[in-house]
Amino acid sequence: MDKFRIQGGVPLEGEIAVGGAKNSALPALAACLLTSDPVTLRRIPPVRDIGTMQQLLQHAGADLEVADGSVTVRAARLDHPEAPYDLVKTMRASSLVLGPLVARTGRARVSMPGGCAIGARPINLHVAALEQLGAEIQHSHGYVEARAPHGLKGALVHFDRITVTGTEDVLMAAVLAEGETVIHNAAREPEVQDLALLLNKMGACVEGAGTSTIRVQGVAALHGTEHTIIADRIEAGTFLIAGAITRGDLVVSGFVPEHVYALTAKLRQAGVDITAAGEGALRVRAASRLRATDITTEEFPGFATDLQAQYMALITLAEGISFISETIFENRFMHTQELARMGATIRVEGRQAIVAGVTELTGAQVIASDLRASASLVLAGLVAHGETLVDRVYHIDRGYEKIEEKLARAGARIERII
């Protein structure tokens, strides 16, 4: 099982370029099921979750051509509109094929996702939204079985709580539904906006993506197109924190700075120097000890829950006490025990972590529990005194393309040991 060996204490310098967004590529790939024409997607990050989604599309009957960084999907015939358990259990985002398959073929059989390290993460809101479009839903043998033999009908869909992939799932169903659909309390993430852009390039009629009310006029069919996925704002945020935690002087490029405004505002409050470094790039410098700074995770444009673990690693070294509130997932503090083994002082009370800053972290053997927790441990290892061994790095490979190579090119002493 792969590990990372990290020797801490090297300030990162130079430039790191960000790749395509995993959380935009996943719904974009699912959207290819909505047409029999070829769809070419560019800047697809070659990470494990993308591989799983590609397997799902092939299982459903689509043909894929994968070149360097781009994928062309031809979903001419979808003989098996289903997502089997052995694939869904490795990636919850598999539920993203539910909406497209029902809309395109009139039926879908998608395994219920199993448990997840960071929380229960049910898909009840996805299912309820599709029922509002007229899908008949049954649950049996651990699968959601959806049918719409006479097609879907546009409707007013209200989400009891904001859900990113729930919004994406029902949006992809609505584009082929008859009539108008209004999605109320929709997620506003950039990845939702990117999906709407792709759908409109395929001939859909979507308005309001990026706001909490999305309006869709259904069309009879969609056609092929080409689309470049937006940059990964979470990868960008992770590298900005890497520059700060190592007290380096690092440029992070190839992304949309306003997609990480909540993070950069907090980093500045903590005393990190962040400046524009040309189009789509930020320069991060941190020389002195940082100030304790509280965060509360929220849906976009609030502070991203996917950056909470990485921010916690940074703030363990700040002067003073910081309060971190996690409002999105019920169990997203598993990195705290591992950070504590490296010398951090953190107390978890329900959905709040209280971090009392220390002057240094020390290297240790630690175990990754989920994708963003593993990034947090790598960041801590970059600054800890001595050697850190991060085990189970297959978690990090789910969402970061060769993170150790990108960090090493900026000076980090990190290597993957098989």
SS3 of 222-273: the string is CCCEEEECCECHHHHHHHHHHHHHCCCEEEEECCCHHHHHHHHHHHHHHCCE
CB of 52 to ligand EPZ, least distance (A): 11
CB of 394 to ligand EPZ, least distance (A): 14
* Local structure of residue 43 (DSSP, 8 states): S
Helix axes of 164-174 and 98-105: crossing angle, nearest 10 degrees: 10
CB of 168 to ligand EPZ, least distance (A): 7
Q: Among residues 26 and 133, whose Cβ is nearest to ligand EPZ?
A: 26
Of 116, 205, 334, 358, the catalytic one is 116
The Cα 318–Cα 359 span in angstroms is: 8
Q: Among residues 170 and 274, whose Cβ is nearest to ligand EPZ?
A: 170
Could you tell me which of 305, 299, 307, 325 has the C-alpha nearest to residue 240? 307
Q: Among residues 125 and 242, whose Cβ is nearest to ligand EPZ?
A: 125
Q: Would you tell me how many other CB atoms lie within 10 Å of the CB of residue 202?
A: 21
Whether residue 116 lies in the annotated active site: yes
**Burial of 76 per CB tally in 10 Å (0-12, 13-18, 19+):** exposed
| 3 state DSSP class of 154 | coil
CB of 362 to ligand EPZ, least distance (A): 27
| 3 state DSSP class of 310 | helix
CB of 4 to ligand EPZ, least distance (A): 18
Q: Among residues 239 and 329, whose Cβ is nearest to ligand EPZ?
A: 329
- Asked whether the CA dihedral 268, 372, 306, 42 is positive or negative, the reply is positive
SS3 of 110-145: the string is EECCCCECCECCCCHHHHHHHHHCCCEEEEECCEEE
CB of 144 to ligand EPZ, least distance (A): 11
Could you tell me which of 155, 217, 213, 208 has the C-alpha nearest to residue 186? 213
CB of 404 to ligand EPZ, least distance (A): 18
Q: Which residues bind ligand EPZ (CB under 6 A)?
A: 23, 26, 92-93, 119-126, 161, 163-166, 305-306, 328-329, 371-372, 399
Residues 6+ apart with CB under 8 A from 175: 34, 103, 199, 204, 205, 206, 216, 218, 219, 222
Q: Among residues 11 and 308, whose Cβ is nearest to ligand EPZ?
A: 308
Residues 305/328, Cβ–Cβ less than 8 Å: yes
Q: Among residues 21 and 101, whose Cβ is nearest to ligand EPZ?
A: 21
Pair of tokens at residue 73: 């999907």
Q: Among residues 58 and 124, whose Cβ is nearest to ligand EPZ?
A: 124
Which residues are designated catalytic?
116
